Structure formats: structure tokens, C-alpha cells
């Protein structure tokens, strides 16, 4: 990273950025919603389209001087449509929550019924939680996973949908380790007359690479962030059927947002081109392989994984079996140089601030080039810390993580 001017003008911020880079390179990042962008994406982010106001859409802007910005935004739109086989795409949403908000308002009015997965079962705040706009503006009906299998319970969803007649049913999750049967969701929506919406933020990179079913061609609307498995800059996008394109575009601008961040859109275009390469398919395949090996390693050592494993990039470990809370496990692992996040598990008897689980994922370690044998080592490090987290064990684990990271530097 070339930061000569920042270093010269603002050494304080320069040194903090450098320290953050070092932290990222010397630790094992397992937060499943994070990733490392390529040098090309990073460079595109720090460019002059950040200076430009371009309210509106390509060909119809409220400011002059958008000749090149239009081409950049159209490239991002076209690449995203090709990647997911989408009829229409909007690349302006600033992040996942505003993308969901725009999608909801494209189809619903305040008071309409929204049906989504409960946050503590693997959903997201914006999927109808009571502390979020989605649970206060709309009439939120929340579904759960099955208590025994910890899997999506389609019969329960169908029954609730028939009873409550939601305007929109939302699938796609932040902490669900299994494949999602989007076709069953589509059938329930058809039967009940609901709009079929998916939030594929976590699995977008897997969907476009063929490692997970892609709902875009047959769902009404699909939102995604661009910075998770898709490995682009922090931001989001919405894809929908052509017949809904006008209402989606109007919901993003002028209803919800003003000027789009065109430097980020340029970086999204670069990331979408990267995702079109054959190497990205390999990358997505390896994310899933790595997650399976990490999950198996942890289970072989006696850890309980929610639903007994993973089909995607993430897993939930029930650390209560080791006599820890998720908060304690997260803190002990952080000291060992392993980053994860505390997370509720389905039907968690504990509160979200101190839940029973931790959430682990493999997008970052896979970006760094780690494969199955490194997953076994990471699984062993994690287990050693969950098993015994005194100073000596944490120190030993820290040495092991540093040693591993040395071989997989990403940013020079
Ligand atoms: N905050 C993200 C996650 O960690 O899953 C979802 O938006």
C-alpha cells in the first residue's frame, strides 16, 4: 500500500492504518462476514470518482460531468448481472442495511407484514428485529429453525405464512451454516402470494461461483453486500426481476439515498470482474472445503457444532460444552491471535451479549491461500484455547498463529 502523503501529513492516522494492517496479517481472521480485498480493488477505492456527485442513474443524472462515471457504473451493473444471471441490478446501495431497507420499501408500506428469520436463530437485525427499523415500521413475523435439527423448518414457515399472509418473505442469513433450499421458499411465496426476497450477503461469492444455489434468476428481489464472500469493497447491491426495476431504483434513489459513492462503485466493478475469473470459482470451492475441514477438526476434538457441521463458509460452535460463554471464548481466542465473534446459537438460554456460541468462517484465510492442512492446525489451535485458556496456553497458541500467518502474508 502506498500511503506516502498520509504518512507525511498525518503520521498519527498513518501509523494506525499500518498497525491495523499488521494486525490483519499477524492474526487469523475467522469472522465469516469479513474478507481481504485485492490490491486492484484497494487501488480503485482510493481514486477521484470519490469527488463526484452523480445523483440519479447512468444517462439521467442531476449533475453535469458524469460522462465517465456513467460508464463505470454501467460496467459494474453489467458485470453483476452477468455474474448472477440477473435481469436488473442496482449497485448504489451504501451497505447491507440500506439495501434491505430499499428493497422493503420497494414492495411494502409501513404496517405491512414482513416475515424473516429471528436474529438469534441466524437471521439479521434488518430481517424484522424489534430494535431495528424493520421490526418497528413493518408488522414483523419471525420464523425459527427446528429445535432438534437446528435446520430451516419449511413446514413451520409455510404454516405461519398461510396464517399471517406476509407481503414479503425473506430468506438468506448471517449465521446459518447449511445450504438454503431457495426453491422451497419460492414455492411458499407462490402459494401465499408473497414477494420472494433473499439477502445473500454472506453467500454471494458462493452463489455466483456455483458453490451454493443462486436464487437471483427466480426470486423477485435479492440483496447482497459486496464485501463478504464476494470479496469486493464495503458496500451492497440489489438484483431483481425486470418488472420491478423501476420501483427498486426509485427506492434506492431518491427515496433512501442521495449521491452514490462512485469510487466504491468503481471498486465494485473491479471486484465483479475478479469474480468472473475461473480462479474465483476455485477460491469459492476452497472456502467450502476449508470450512468442512475446520468443522471436522473441531468436532473430532469433541466440540459441538450447531446442526452438526457446515455446507458453506461458516460454522457455529456451542462453547458452553467447554464451560465457556461465547464472550469468554472470543476474548481468549483474540489474545491468541484468532478473531471470531460471539454469537447466539438456536434456542440459546443466554443473552446476545454473552451467548453460548462463537461464529467462525473461512473466507479470509482462504483468500490468504490457506488450505486443508492449515485448517487442521487452526482447528487444533482453537480447541487448545477452548480447552485451557490460562496465560501459558494462550501464549503458546499466539506463537502458533504468528508462525502460521508468517507463511501467508497478503498485503506487502
Ligand atoms: N454484520 C454482518 C455479519 O457479521 O454477519 C451482517 O451484516
| Per-residue pLDDT tens digits for 268-294 | 999 999 999 999 999 999 999 999 999
* φ, ψ (nearest 5 deg) of residue 175: -145, 50
Say yes or no to pLDDT of 10 above 80.
yes
For residue 96, give the ligand 1 atom closest to its CA: 7
For residue 341, give the ligand 1 atom closest to its CA: 4
For a pocket test of ligand 1, which of 29, 31, 32, 33 has the largest count of ligand atoms closer than 8 A to its C-beta? Answer: 33
Neighbours of 154 (CB within 10 A): 15
Distances (CA, A) of 168 to 2, 209, 373: 46, 27, 43
Say yes or no to pLDDT of 241 above 70.
yes
The full set of domain ranges for the chain reads 43-275, 281-406
Q: What is the mean pLDDT of residues 302-314?
A: 98
For a pocket test of ligand 1, which of 174, 359, 360 has the largest count of ligand atoms closer than 8 A to its C-beta? Answer: 174
For residue 126, give the ligand 1 atom closest to its CA: 7
Say yes or no to pLDDT of 122 above 90.
yes
Pick one of 1.10.1740.110, 3.30.1360.70, 3.90.1150.10, 3.40.1080.10 as the CATH number of 281-406. Answer: 3.90.1150.10
Q: Rounded CA gap, 30 and 407, in Å?
A: 17
pLDDT of 133-180, one tens digit each? 999 999 999 999 999 999 999 999 999 999 999 999 999 999 999 999
How many Å lie between the centroid of ligand 1 and the Cα of residue 126?
Answer: 10
Closest CA to 204 of 122, 283, 316: 283
| Nearest CA, atom 5, ligand 1 | 174
Same fold, 43-275 and 281-406: no
Contact 375, 364 (CB under 8 A): no
Q: Rounded CA gap, 73 and 264, in Å?
A: 10
pLDDT value at residue 1 = 67
Q: Rounded CA gap, 77 and 80, in Å?
A: 5
pLDDT value at residue 177 = 98
| Nearest CA, atom 4, ligand 1 | 33
Local confidence band at 347 (pLDDT 50, 70, 90 cut-offs):
very high
How many Å lie between the centroid of ligand 1 and the Cα of residue 202?
Answer: 8
Q: Which helix or strand (DSSP H or E) is residue 272 part of?
A: helix 262-275
Catalytic positions, written as ranges:
53, 55, 199, 225, 228, 234
33 lines ligand 1 (CB under 6 A): yes
96 lines ligand 1 (CB under 6 A): yes
| Nearest CA, atom 7, ligand 1 | 96
pLDDT of 16-47, one tens digit each? 999 999 999 999 999 999 999 999 999 999 99
How many Å lie between the centroid of ligand 1 and the Cα of residue 37?
Answer: 17
* φ, ψ (nearest 5 deg) of residue 122: 125, 0
pLDDT value at residue 412 = 75
Cis check for the bond before 5: say yes or no (omega within 30 of 0): no
How many Å lie between the centroid of ligand 1 and the Cα of residue 218?
Answer: 25
Give the whole-number percent of the chain exceeding pLDDT 70.
100
Contact 84, 282 (CB under 8 A): no
Cell 462503485 appears where? Answer: 265
| Residue 130: all three cell numbers together | 424489534
* φ, ψ (nearest 5 deg) of residue 155: -65, -40
Neighbours of 321 (CB within 10 A): 12
| Nearest CA, atom 6, ligand 1 | 174
Domain 43-275, CATH: 3.40.640.10
Say yes or no to pLDDT of 127 above 90.
yes
Q: What is the mean pLDDT of residues 2-29?
A: 96
Cell 451497505 appears where? Answer: 95
| Nearest CA, atom 1, ligand 1 | 33
Neighbours of 118 (CB within 10 A): 18
Amino acid at each position: 500500500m502506498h500511503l506516502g502523503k498520509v504518512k507525511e501529513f498525518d503520521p498519527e492516522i498513518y501509523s494506525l492504518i499500518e498497525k491495523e494492517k499488521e494486525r490483519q496479517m499477524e492474526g487469523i481472521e475467522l469472522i465469516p462476514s469479513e474478507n481481504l480485498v485485492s490490491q486492484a480493488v484497494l487501488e480503485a477505492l482510493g481514486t477521484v470518482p470519490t469527488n463526484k456527485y452523480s445523483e440519479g442513474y447512468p444517462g439521467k443524472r442531476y449533475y453535469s460531468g458524469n460522462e465517465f462515471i456513467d460508464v463505470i457504473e454501467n460496467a459494474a451493473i453489467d458485470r453483476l448481472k452477468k455474474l448472477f444471471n440477473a435481469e436488473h441490478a442496482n449497485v448504489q446501495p451504501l451497505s447491507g442495511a440500506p439495501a434491505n431497507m430499499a428493497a422493503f420499501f420497494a414492495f411494502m408500506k409501513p404496517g405491512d407484514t414482513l416475515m424473516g428469520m429471528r436474529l438469534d436463530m441466524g437471521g439479521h437485525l434488518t430481517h424484522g428485529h424489534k430494535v431495528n427499523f424493520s421490526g418497528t415500521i413493518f408488522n414483523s413475523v419471525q420464523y425459527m429453525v427446528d429445535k432438534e435439527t437446528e435446520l430451516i423448518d419449511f413446514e413451520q414457515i409455510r404454516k405461519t405464512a398461510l396464517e399471517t399472509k406476509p407481503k414479503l418473505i425473506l430468506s438468506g442469513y448471517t449465521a446459518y451454516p447449511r445450504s438454503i433450499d431457495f426453491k422451497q421458499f419460492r414455492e411458499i411465496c407462490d402459494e401465499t402470494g408473497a414477494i420472494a426476497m433473499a439477502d445473500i450477503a454472506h453467500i454471494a461469492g458462493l452463489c455466483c461461483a456455483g458453490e451454493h444455489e443462486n436464487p437471483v434468476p427466480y426470486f423477485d428481489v435479492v440483496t447482497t453486500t459486496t464485501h463478504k464472500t464476494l470479496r469486493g469493497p464495503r458496500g451492497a447491491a440489489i438484483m431483481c426481476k425486470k418488472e420491478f426495476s423501476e420501483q427498486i431504483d426509485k427506492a434506492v434513489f431518491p427515496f433512501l439515498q442521495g449521491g452514490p459513492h462512485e469510487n466504491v462503485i468503481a471498486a465494485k466493478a473491479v471486484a465483479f470482474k475478479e469474480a468472473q475469473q475461473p480462479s474465483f470459482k476455485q477460491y469459492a470451492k476452497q472456502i467450502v472445503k476449508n470450512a468442512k475441514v475446520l468443522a471436522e477438526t473441531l468436532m473430532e476434538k469433541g466440540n459441538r457444532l450447531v446442526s452438526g457441521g457446515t455446507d458453506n463458509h461458516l460454522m457455529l460452535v456451542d462453547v458452553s460444552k467447554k464451560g465457556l460463554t461465547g464472550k469468554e471464548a472470543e476474548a481468549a481466542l483474540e489474545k491468541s491471535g484468532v478473531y471470531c465473534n460471539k454469537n447466539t446459537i438456536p434456542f440459546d438460554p443466554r443473552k446476545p451479549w454473552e451467548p453460548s456460541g462463537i461464529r467462525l468462517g473461512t473466507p479470509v484465510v482462504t483468500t490468504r491461500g490457506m488450505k486443508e492442512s492449515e485448517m487442521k492446525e487452526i482447528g487444533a489451535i482453537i480447541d487448545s484455547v477452548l480447552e485451557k485458556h490460562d496465560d501459558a496456553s494462550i501464549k503458546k497458541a499466539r506463537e502458533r498463529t504468528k508462525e502460521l500467518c508468517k507463511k501467508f502474508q497478503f498485503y506487502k
